A = this chain, B = another copy of it.
């Protein structure tokens, strides 16, 4: 077990280093170094992959005997990861990496004026490679299962189809019922950048960002990177025209807190990360939406906002802010969508990518299919592909199977929120006082500390005694819309 743990620790080091190379590229790196950085990242990725998939790792995994319960879980997870990794030929791994890099570049060109036709061949190549990847797992009931499994171990396409179908059926009427709310208090800038910075700093400090083990930096596209258990990096961006920075920072904080509160005994093992992408997203969404858009939060935060941005918030009530933070309005762009319409943006992407993989939709028909479904589900006309099929980077990099985890994350956040409200009846009062420790501790105890020791399904079962259930999330949204309407009346 000692040699195995040492090897897994080295692989974990390389993966953290790869994250640092990515973080540095977005935050610090001089732009001329992009090509060299791509080589550096490729080298680290290749070495980590080779170290993990070589015969010696297989021998160590076969012969290891665990000394405690953590090692039992470690061995199970590492064996599963190994079994899946060795079934994908190194050549296919390299082809997919190259296609991702090519596709990313073509997406940029398509967006810069060349149009969707520039990207289409790359998408066709991705679909071919994705099918070859799925072929490595012939026991799967559906080729999409193998893609999902990268982000959601053991998740079945049929289950995603079922859960997202129920979500769609629940969300469409909520969109229809949305009333007109004046949200100019959060949307029509200018919001002074210096004031936004101060507000974000104050809020992050209060929710749990400690300078000894966290960083906050500026980037073009916010993300969170865990370089180590005591090195949690969140990023944000500031635009004068809106206050997105606050919600985006809370979102990335949610990801970071998950990683920060994993049991330190799991350090430098493959157990030291979240259970799955959707579990991770449940944490970011919980802090961004359940907390950051709540009345209790704004009863606490309004004076901070007024101190940081007096010209905007001195004369505004918490009710006005909370109502504006929860406005429901069908729009074209996923990343800036409200909580209700967001799910429909994901359903659309899931349905389309599933049909692409199944072969029932051709890449040549993708843009038109996109526009039709936007009309059908959200009632909006897509004026151009920039605001349509070209808006997200994911497909250009061959990321199929990833989008649904965003919606599943909301579903899990809904289930968590229902249980948290039962078990922390005084949470609202804590939040009103700016005391987030009880919530952090609840999350550490019930979710975070396990890391990957439980599978996503086991974590659902132990946390909720059930599987994925979209009803609590839909009920939460409906209640929130009623509350928002009453705030404004």
Contacts and interface: CB of A to CB of B under 8 A. Distances in A.
A413 to B, nearest CB: 27
A44 B36 CA distance: 18
Interface in A27-41: 27-33, 35-37, 39-40
A215 interface: yes
Contacts of A215: 28, 30
A24 interface: yes
A267 B10 CA distance: 27
Interface stretch (A184-192, A223-231, A327-335): A223-231
Nearest to A230: B32
A47 B10 contact: yes
Interface in A1-55: 9-10, 13-14, 16-17, 20-21, 24, 27-33, 35-37, 39-40, 43-44, 46-47
Given A37-B231, A47-B47, 14 more contacts: A14-B44, A16-B36, A16-B40, A20-B20, A24-B24, A27-B28, A30-B212, A30-B213, A30-B230, A33-B227, A33-B228, A33-B231, A36-B227, A40-B228
Contact of A229 (B36, B40, B43, B213): B36
Given A10-B47, A13-B39, A39-B9, A31 B212 contact: yes
A417 interface: no
A28 B24 CA distance: 10
B21 A40 contact: no
Nearest to A44: B17
Interface of A: 9-10, 13-14, 16-17, 20-21, 24, 27-33, 35-37, 39-40, 43-44, 46-47, 211-215, 227-232, 267-268
A22 to B, nearest CB: 12
A280 B281 CA distance: 49
Contacts of A35: 230
Nearest to A267: B36
Contacts of A40: 13, 16-17, 228
Contacts of A44: 13-14, 17
Contacts of A36: 16, 227-231, 267-268
B267 A32 contact: no
Nearest to A228: B36
A232 B29 CA distance: 9
Contact of A33 (B13, B24, B37, B213): B213
The dominant DSSP class at the A interface is helix
A10 to B, nearest CB: 5
A20 B40 CA distance: 11
Name the 4 nearest CB pairs between A and B, nearest first. Answer: A33-B231, A36-B228, A32-B230, A13-B43
A46 B30 CA distance: 28
A42 to B, nearest CB: 8
Contacts of A230: 30, 32-33, 35-36
B231 A29 contact: yes
Contacts of A211: 30
A43 B14 contact: yes
22 contacts: A9-B39, A10-B46, A14-B43, A14-B44, A16-B36, A17-B17, A17-B40, A20-B20, A20-B24, A29-B227, A29-B231, A30-B215, A32-B212, A32-B213, A32-B231, A33-B213, A33-B228, A35-B230, A36-B231, A36-B267, A36-B268, A37-B231
A211 B32 CA distance: 9
Contacts of A29: 227, 231
A375 to B, nearest CB: 44
A266 to B, nearest CB: 13
Contacts of A24: 20, 24
A20 B44 CA distance: 13
A228 to B, nearest CB: 4
A35 B17 CA distance: 14
B37 A228 contact: yes
A295 to B, nearest CB: 33
A297 B460 CA distance: 69
